[in-house]
Amino acid sequence: MITECIRYRVPEARAAAFEEACRRAAVALQVSPLCRTYDLERCEEDPESYLLRITWTSTEDGHGGFREREEFRDVVAEVEGQASGVAEARTYRPVAIVPSLYDWAGGAEAFEALFTAFYDRVAEDPVLAPVFAGMNPAHPRHVAAWLGEVLGGPKVYSERHGGHPHMVSRHVGRALTEQQRRAWVSLLLDTADQVGLPGDAEFRSAFAGYLEWGTRMALMFSQPGVDAAVPEPMPGWGWGEVRPWPR
């Protein structure tokens, strides 16, 4: 991932219009599969200076700046129409100084232990057992690779198992129910306690947050008539960075 930082000069008289234009631009950023996060900040010492930060999925996706991308041109023109100029535009690559959720949990060994124990319990669960009848014996290991990559681990699922499109395809047409989704999340959280995943509030809130988000996406893609041909990259989940979906 890379972060693009753009510093705008905005006259005081156009500050409110500039901020409103940025809110409208945020909708386009939020629905783009290329954008992970976005933030707008106003300088306290120099109120005519604003900093827009956008995190892109990769260097290639962010290359050239979002102002040059066709899908953003109209909203960017509106934003920059309220500014008196762009004082700076640079890109930054993150330097890991905080452990990922994957490392915090204990890495590949911890996730494989989690899903081995989980699917043993699934076989005895009256709600979930029918969903996973005839399951491939390698399924627990594949799901462990998926979750590990999502939470910041190696890109094993992308490189060996087809990435996000493959995971979506595994749910298409299955018509999962909310009862099944809730049972899956509840049993996995119980199993996390059983195998000794970290129990601190920060990790568990982020972990549970992804399970809720991911299973609701799976539920959606499993319904009849849903177009599952989405260009989304692999999800990436950190310490409390989820954003609201535009309504």
Contact, 151 vs 210, CB < 8 A?
yes
The pLDDT of residue 121 is above 90: yes
pLDDT of residue 65: 58
**What Rg, from alpha-carbon coordinates, does the chain have?**
21
pLDDT of residue 176: 96
What's the CATH code, domain 2-92? 3.30.70.100
pLDDT of residue 62: 60
Higher pLDDT, residue 56 or 33: 56
The pLDDT of residue 36 is above 50: yes
Three-class SS state of 43: coil
Instruction: Let me know if 43 is exposed, middle or buried by CB neighbors in 10 A (0-12, 13-18, 19+).
Output: exposed
pLDDT of residue 101: 95
Average pLDDT, the chain: 88
The pLDDT of residue 64 is above 60: no
pLDDT of residue 16: 95
**Mean per-residue pLDDT for 63-69?**
62
From 9, 25, 23, select the one nearest 66 (Cα to Cα). Answer: 25
Distance between CA 211 and CA 147 in Å, rounded? 9
Fold designation for 101-222: Globin-like (1.10.490)
Reported as a single tens digit per residue, the pLDDT across 107-118 is 999 999 999 999
- Residue count of the chain: 247
Among 14-23, 73-82, 226-235, which range has the highest average pLDDT? 14-23
Higher pLDDT, residue 173 or 186: 186
| Percent of the chain residues past pLDDT 90, beyond the cut | 58
Contact, 91 vs 4, CB < 8 A?
yes
The pLDDT of residue 242 is above 80: no
Domain locations in the chain?
Answer: 2-92, 101-222
15 band by pLDDT with thresholds 50, 70 and 90:
very high
63 band by pLDDT with thresholds 50, 70 and 90:
low
pLDDT of residue 247: 46
pLDDT of residue 139: 95
**Mean per-residue pLDDT for 202-206?**
94
